[in-house]
Amino acid sequence: MIEQQAPQLLWQHFAKMSEIPRASKKEEAIRAFYRDYATSKGLEFKEDAIGNIVIKKPATKGYENSPKIILQGHVDMVCQKRDASNHNFDTDPIALQIKGEWLHATDTTLGADNGIGVAASIAILEDETAEHGPLEILLTVDEEQGMGGVHNIQPNWLEGEYLLNLDSEKEGVCTVGCAGGTDLVLAKELHYDNEARGIFYEVAVEGLKGGHSGIDIHKELGNASQLLAETLANYAHSSALRLATFHGGTLRNAIPRSAKAVVAIHEAHKAEFEAHLVAAGTALKARLKNADDHVVVSFKLVDAQPTQDAESSQQCLNLLLLAPCGVIRKSVELPIVETSCNLGVVTVDEKTGLRIELLARSVTNGGLDIIRTRTKALAIMVGAFVEEGNAYPAWQPNLESVPFKKLLEAYQETTGEEMVVSVIHAGLETGLLGEKYPHLQMVSFGPTIKGAHSPDERAHIPSVARFYDLLKLLLRKLK
């Protein structure tokens, strides 16, 4: 059992979190749990209108005059599961399993992002060996679906001077900056013909790894939606093909692992179309070798259903194929991705029309403008429209931050090595918190977590223990 691993307090709290459904925008149960927890421990707490919670703990002896410190993490998790899984994220606990030095979930995301950071913060409240100044444990909601919690946090609600964000995912790396981002939705009404003509196929691209649309975007992983659009568009450019439905991805911040479409072709082209799909599958396996080796293109005959005409179908597929996706620009100043875009969720059907959900990220405002411009240009070409929302700013590095300097000292002291200083291509809540509380001095760090936002998510158990010890030492140093 994971609760028997060190540090036991942290793992006990993480195991408890894993029993409570906590999908983004569905955090009622986990919020109630922490309200009850604070009351049972006699700790002061408060909750704002959107559901962010702050639990306060006085300073330990000798630290009464130390700066006030905020430990911050988000309680929601990305909910992804393998195609064969029957897991219900609204009701079922996450099934934990230990494999060697790693903690996994059974066929779902683990929720270590950011459950480990939250569990560490709560463990500090109970740890009799922890020494620290006055604490605020800030538990935010809706981070994974657009940072709704920190978007709505009010000025003057927090009292801390230093903020330790515990939402980083690589041991030995100190994060001092992150990309900003924005959601873009490209939508278009479609016209369907109820006359069934030809033969109908369901075509799927499956078996991909998926992953975090920020920190994994440079790994040349396959995007199932774009690969399926490419496969079908390639055929539609020379032979008539009518599109009925297209569905890919489940979250705008996760790289799609699978996508399916229903299309109609002329019956006389049956052998040609099937040969095209077989060849496409072979080509994708060769292209994605050592990156996404298990990609599969599958197809089967299905019943007839309403479709668009061939011209509109080709327009939809071309739009999906040309939408901004992947790394757009690398930084020339730092070894990081500067600007990217994820083709996250795609829906094409008679009821919804065309809907493409994109998540653009950049460490510069100009980078986000590039994605906005390209997306709007595509929309104009096909008579679609674009909506934008959930924008959040980049977190600009402050190398004079006291928590940053003390973290480097603490890491050097415990390991004898220098900590890596990083700006990550992912969104952290620090950007918005820094905008609302410009006086805050912030730093972010955490244990090693791999495969976040995918069913391959796993946490390295020994690194979690070292992360917790480092957190305790840092709190002692912030006197």
* Token couple for 334: 């730092």
Radius of gyration (C-alpha) of the chain in whole angstroms: 24
Query: Residue 233 phi/psi, 5° resolution?
Result: -65, -40
Contact 323, 228 (CB under 8 A): no
- The span from the CA of 250 to the CA of 262, in Å, is 18
Q: Does residue 143 have an active-site annotation?
A: yes
Q: What element of type H or E holds 17?
A: helix 8-18
The three-class DSSP label of residue 322 is: helix
Query: Taking the CB of residue 155, how many other CB atoms lie within 10 A of it?
Result: 8
* Token couple for 265: 């072709």
Could you tell me whether strands 199-206 and 296-302 are parallel, antiparallel, or unpaired per DSSP bridges?
Answer: antiparallel
- The span from the CA of 385 to the CA of 365, in Å, is 22
Q: Does residue 76 have an active-site annotation?
A: yes
* Token couple for 323: 């939408």
Angle between helical axes of 310-322 and 365-382 (0-180°, round to 10): 170
Angle between helical axes of 8-18 and 461-477 (0-180°, round to 10): 120
Cis peptide before 114 (omega within 30 of 0): yes
Which of 76, 113, 127, 161 is an active site residue?
A: 76
The three-class DSSP label of residue 73 is: strand
Q: What element of type H or E holds 215?
A: none
Residue 94 half-sphere exposure toward CB, CA atoms < 13 A: 30
Contact 57, 137 (CB under 8 A): yes
* Token couple for 248: 């890919």
Which of 113, 127, 142, 143 is an active site residue?
A: 143
- The span from the CA of 183 to the CA of 461, in Å, is 34
- The span from the CA of 271 to the CA of 315, in Å, is 24
Residues taking part in catalysis: 76, 143
